[in-house]
Amino acid sequence: DPKADGWRLPTEAQWEYAAQAGDILEFAGSDNWREVGWFPENANQTTHSVGQQKPNQWGIYDMSGNVCEWCWNWTDDSMKTSKSYRGGSWFLSCEDGRVWTRDGQKPSYKGIDIGFRCVRILTDVSS
């Protein structure tokens, strides 16, 4: 969309790259989910404001837990009509918050624990 000025949902590859932040950890920023995410065991059945937990190594908050995040694509041909979501949420078990875990739904799906994080593609970094 030309009006989007480079803003869009991340691809699955972009989402996972940002979540891992150059490290090999189970969750985005730690191997301990309690340090970085909101899940049923600690979330009190609600979404929390971003930035209350530890960020990952690139300073990005809440990529594991809190709310699932829509991605632009689904990398498995068996789910062609679905889009993936990543990161897990306060409604799902902490296992769903691992950086490599994914699930999907039709794009029309609406849930109390799903949201999105935009990325922006820069066309000219010199200006």
Instruction: Report the C-alpha gap between 95 and 27 in whole angstroms.
Output: 9
> What per-residue confidence (pLDDT) applies to 41?
96
What's 77's domain CATH number?
3.90.1580.10
- In the chain, the number of structural domains is 1
Cα dist. 26→17, 94, 101, 105, 124 in Å? Answer: 13, 10, 10, 23, 34
> Within 10 A of 48 (CB to CB), how many other CB atoms are there?
17
Domain, as residue range, for 56: 1-127
pTM equals 0.88
Model pLDDT for residues 8-42, shown as the tens digit of each residue: 999 999 999 999 999 999 999 999 999 999 999 99
Within 10 Å of residue 93's Cβ, how many Cβ atoms?
Answer: 13
- pLDDT given at position 81: 80
